[in-house]
A = this chain, B = another copy of it.
Amino acid sequence: MKARELREEVCRVNRELGRSGLVTLTWGNASAADRAAGVLAIKPSGVDYEALKPEDIIIVSLEDGRVVEGTLRPSSDTPTHLCIFQSFAGVSGIVHTHSTHATAWAQARRPLPCFGTTHADHFYGEVPLARPLRPEEIAENYEWNTGVTIVDSFRELRLDPLQMPAVLVPGHGPFAWGASAAKAYENAIALEESARMALMTLALRPDAGPIPRELLDKHFLRKHGPGAYYGQR
């Protein structure tokens, strides 16, 4: 993929994000990585979604985070995206939002249980809560260290980032990802809707438990991997 196409894709997904209902004000950003070219492309900081043009998108080195192309400042969350791209091999798109319901779970410091097939179609089990940042991780390189807590938590929980393409950062909000920016955006939407349904499920049944293992397997695997049979292929 050329830098021009990468910027166009990232611009398009950020503009969709702005219209999606997942984002208030400028609280969200989408990025994509071109691993062959060794770069990521990301939204500039604090710019309105509707005003975004492909040439506003910033190109950043995947190796060291230096700005390679672009005159605006990249999103202040760029180091978090960089850390995730460096650590999660198959991931080429990331979407960060403060979407209302997913953020409520993150603020309540609860992982998101899999109460139904809507969730199971996208996330292979409970969406984890990352570990909290330590005070010194907040003081220095805060945004990079946010990524470190995500990567640490996935390692500890032995989660495959492509089977669990989202996380809740406690007291902050969700990050979602996927094989492309468009897939990451789709997972961000699925996460928000699953979080909304789960909140209501608990209101109706405070002791609700997850769906049975065989139903989780059925739904996740009919959409993902070699046995998938959903959609047009």
A214 to B230: give the CA distance in the assembly, Å.
46
Interface residues in A177-230 (C-beta closer than 8 Å to B): 186, 189-190, 193, 196-205, 208, 211-212, 214-215, 218, 222, 229-230
Instruction: Give the number of residues in A that approach B within 8 Å (Cβ atoms).
Output: 61
Write the nearest CB–CB distance from A190 to chain B, whole angstroms: 7
Instruction: List the B residue with the shortest CB-CB distance to A228.
Output: B76
Q: How far is the CA of A56 from the CA of B120 in the complex (A)?
A: 27
State whether B193 touches A108 (Cβ < 8 A).
Answer: no
Q: How far is the CA of A217 from the CA of B98 in the complex (A)?
A: 19
Of B116, B172, B231, which one neighbours A45 at CB under 8 angstroms?
B231
**Interface hit among A1-9, A31-39, A131-139, A156-164:** A131-139
Question: Which listed residue (B190, B200, B203) contacts A25, Cβ 8 A?
Answer: B190
Tell me the smallest distance from the CB of A166 to a CB of chain B, in Å: 15
- Are B231 and A171 in contact (CB-based, < 8 A)? no
Q: Which of A11-19, A87-95, A99-107 contacts B (4 or more CB under 8 A)?
A: A99-107
Q: Which of A72, A171, A200 has the most CB of B within 10 A?
A: A171
Bound-state Cα–Cα, A85 to B102, Å: 37
**A45-59 toward B: CB 8 Å interface, digit per residue (1/0)?**
111000000000000
How far is it, in angstroms, between the C-alpha of A121 and the C-alpha of B103 when the chains are bound?
A: 14
Partner of A118 from B45, B103, B108, B231 at Cβ < 8 Å = B103
Asked if B199 and A200 make an inter-chain contact with CB atoms under 8 angstroms apart, the answer reads yes
Evaluate contact between A172 and B204: CB separation under 8 angstroms. Answer: no
Chain A interface residues (CB < 8 Å from chain B): 24-25, 27, 44-47, 72-73, 76, 98, 100-101, 103-110, 115-118, 121, 132-133, 135, 138-139, 142, 171-173, 186, 189-190, 193, 196-205, 208, 211-212, 214-215, 218, 222, 229-233
Closest 9 CB pairs of A and B: A46-B231, A104-B200, A108-B204, A108-B205, A107-B201, A107-B115, A107-B116, A171-B211, A138-B214
